[in-house]
Chains A and B, each alone.
Chain A
Amino acid sequence: MSFIPNTDADRARMLQAIGVSSTRDLFHDVPEAFRFPRLDLPPALSEQEILSELDQLSRQNADCAARPCFLGAGAYNHFIPAVVDFVVSRSEFATAYTPYQPEISQGTLQAIFEYQSMIARLTGMDVSNASHYDGATATAEAVIMALSVFQRQRSRVVLSAGLHPQYRAVVRTYTQGMGLTFAGDDAISRPPEDLASLCDKNTACVVIQNPDFLGRIAPPAVMKAIAAAVHACGALLVVVANPVSLGLLVPPGEAGADVVAGEGQALGNHLSFGGPSLGFFAFRRDQIRRSSGRIAGETRDRDGRTGYVFTLSTREQHIRREKATSNICTNQSLNALAAAAYMTALGPGGLRQVAELCWHKAHYLADRIRKLPGFTVHAGEFFHEFAVSCPRPVAKINEMLFEKHGIVGGYDLGRDYPELKDAVLLCCTETNTKAQIDELVDALGGSRHG
């Protein structure tokens, strides 16, 4: 396969127009000793051969389409309506570039404008950008935005230990050259309301995930109290949220958040081994000039017709260069389109129903596990994930679940939290049937002796 239409005759005609005798002559600027090296790569395959090989390779994966999955921890196995994949498969969306020529990119620009509107409404915020790479980098960008609110004069950041461990790692990676100090994420036992007490006049922001990594919900009254305490220090409150939970739960925007960031995969994007997905990023209108990423805005054309363009580009790298609010250029536009299509397909009622199904199934599973000797469901209100202390190492239990029952078990919390050794994080979505849940519980019950 080559995907190159030029024939030898075409090449001869073009070379003549250029005035050289061979295509290789066009590379005379490349140092001769390093020109046309041997490439030790596998030989070319036909489409039939490579797709057959990849089909075999993909079957070495125990994917969650073919078996029950109780694994969440930041990536969720939701049902994706066929219409969502239909929309993102349209060539005109999939094979377009960033809409630099708005006159012939209105499809992408209007879809982004609608996505921004839906995210703002879902999170209860004023404004959304067009997307970040994922929930973790959206969180890092939120921290950097908070730093810029204080012109980098504040250098302390408070992170909740209930913030996804990988998000905390990415925040630290992104900001390692910025001379920051971090506090708050040393102990998972610290209740979120204590985080505000770590806030001082040097603190730029407090980052809280709700529901947190263990699935626990901080109710609106608690979130409002935290927001008030954080704001009393002059700092910003960044809330990382699960977008499907917002189909049901009071959104962070109604509880005082200044930035709401999170992982948008659950909205119509395939698990795809963790990417591509999208990071959503919503904020208050008065911070828009400090925000990162692209933003579509409404305007009119010369004939007075409504149209859409990217706006406030003076924040961005291609205009502002070293003074830009972020270096982001390529984002996750097609994944944001999937999110918008998903929210449209379900509508407010459908999204609430999906969230309620997640809630009911997870609570049914928790209720059944509570009756199992040796297992302890951790206390507290939760959405669709919860922690369970187990009588055996989680890795052993998961191995048994997979080998004997073909079940993908939960997340081993001991990997990130030493104090949660032998605790597992279990997740249910609307895709988990009662039969699957019962099978999991029966398997866990049998595992005490197994």
Chain B
Amino acid sequence: MAEPLIFDISRPGRSGVTPPACDVPPAVIPAELRRSAIPLPEVSEVDMVRHYVRLSQLNYSVDTGLYPLGSCTMKYNPKANEAAARLPGFASLHPLQPPAQTQGALALMHGLQEMIAEIGGFAAVSLQPSAGAHGELAGILIMRRWHHDRGDTARTRILVPDSAHGTNPASTSMAGLEAVEIPSDARGNVDLAKLTACLDERVAGLMLTNPNTLGLFEESLQEVTRLVHQAGGLVYGDGANFNAILGVTKPGALGIDVMHFNLHKTFSTPHGGGGPGGGALGVTAALAEYLPGPVVQAAGSGAERRFSWRVPSRGIGRLKSFHGNFGILVRAYTYIRMLGPDGLRAVAENAVLNANYLQARLSAVYPVPHGDRTCMHEFVAQGKIASAPEIHALDIAKRLIDYGFHPPTNYFPLIVPEALMIEPTETESLETLDRFIDALLAIAREAVSHPELLHDAPHASPVRRLDEVKAARELKVTAG
């Protein structure tokens, strides 16, 4: 039941939406400027609706079921967020209208800046970054400029733990600095001895994901930040895993100097099949003037309160056009206000509880390299079955699809062979978690009794395993 390409259901002469007739005298359009016909699809509205509805039905989504992708925080996306973002006063506001016409939007952005600063323990926040990696680039540029301002131009290295997301070293390179990998120790923490050995006058800072991608809280976090600061460096916090410690601790109080918050993870905005996201960036007081701008400032109080734009004096510059992914900011703001301080803390508590429950019940069958530790919002198991050596994490992941679940993140972090990185989030019920456990336990039994069921999985999906080598070799990336 493959859905044809939209171009294949196109028929000359069909059309969907008809624009209005022209109500002004037409002007001359010079012939030399006109293009030839564009081969866009010609379909009726009903054909279009059916095409996209059928395509949508080929997708798995949070609204379909459990989506335990580690480090992706696929929690439920409240529908109130969507209603808020669609209010005409937000959705139809032009970004270049003067502040006198946009006080509601500026008030919301200012409120969100303040709330994220409070949640993170930071002095100032910029809402410009569109995603986590965008925030990382801004953060590394801030660190770079801060050192330059102090005449310290020799600091060209950023230390990145080997468990980090690929965006960390990639952002470092884009900022013109060199990423240096730091190994993890036997307990899954940053190896303090190796870190110390790397800390010299060439180091601009450290990028730290905490909890890290093993799902573990850095046991020597304060020692790590102290050592980096002592060596003259700054500490960047990758907030991808912040859902675990939301309301539980403030990174700014633990020695993190600059950190991005993934609004599309922790703060419940939908992922949209890959975006849009939001990567709000928090910094300490020392770095506040380095933020990308403009940011929103407030003056006066009560009925006299007015909001305006301000460009930080030593700012790294503009990170995108206009003011950030405002529609995403509206959703995150709505979520924080609905939960309040206790609700936010309950998010972390239940996310961590759910993850530890899964770890406790699954570790008897699937090895968990750091299973002796309490995990945070996620844990990394191994897709290895002792009595079925031919079975790999990929086979287990694909077989989960047949049981109606989205697979966990697999083969990441790179430091755990056959990794299955499992993050249930706080929005899943115990019954759902139990069904997921039952599925994984059943798959472990199948791995021994009927390994072909795993090798050939998935069986029940719209398509079966796809040939990625063929895709890369033939490179058909547009319709013929």
Contacts and interface: CB of A to CB of B under 8 A. Distances in A.
Contact of A272 (B91, B102, B264, B353): B91
Contact of A61 (B105, B347, B458): B105
Interface string A8-45: 00110111011110011011111100111111111111
A240 B38 CA distance: 19
A122 to B, nearest CB: 6
B197 interface: no
B142 to A, nearest CB: 11
Nearest to A58: B89
A92 B137 contact: no
A446 to B, nearest CB: 21
A330 B274 contact: yes
Contacts of A389: none
A297 to B, nearest CB: 4
A303 B464 contact: yes
A13 B356 CA distance: 12
Contacts of A164: 321
Interface in A121-141: 121-122, 124, 126-128, 130-131, 133-137
Contacts of B186: none
Contacts of B64: 91-92
Contacts of B48: 83, 341, 344-345
Contact of B118 (A41, A91, A247, A251): A41
Contacts of A440: none
Interface string B164-198: 01110111111111110000000000000000000
A312 interface: yes
Interface in A265-281: 270-276
B94 to A, nearest CB: 5
Interface string B123-166: 00000001111101100010011000000000000000000011
B59 A97 contact: no
Which of A23, A122, A220: most chain B CB closer than 10 A?
A23
Contacts of A324: 166, 170, 173
Contacts, number: 690
Interface size class of B (residues with CB under 8 A): 35 or more
Interface in B309-351: 316-328, 330, 334, 336-347, 349-350
Contacts of A228: none
B104 A60 contact: yes
Contacts of B67: 97
Contact of A98 (B30, B60, B85, B274): B274
B298 interface: no
Contacts of A166: 318, 321-322
Contacts of A217: 33
A160 interface: no
A60 B100 CA distance: 9
Nearest to A59: B89
Given A5-B427, A14-B353, A364-B24, A58 B292 contact: no
Give the 10 A-B residue pairs with the shortest CB-CB distance, closest first: A177-B176, A274-B322, A58-B89, A44-B340, A274-B95, A334-B272, A60-B104, A333-B274, A276-B276, A363-B27
14 contacts: A23-B349, A29-B216, A36-B247, A92-B61, A97-B74, A103-B462, A103-B463, A105-B273, A176-B176, A249-B33, A309-B466, A328-B133, A341-B52, A434-B23
Given A275-B323, A311-B475, 20 more contacts: A3-B76, A29-B373, A51-B334, A54-B84, A71-B96, A95-B61, A126-B478, A170-B320, A176-B141, A176-B176, A220-B32, A273-B102, A274-B323, A276-B326, A276-B328, A297-B471, A322-B172, A329-B166, A345-B45, A351-B38
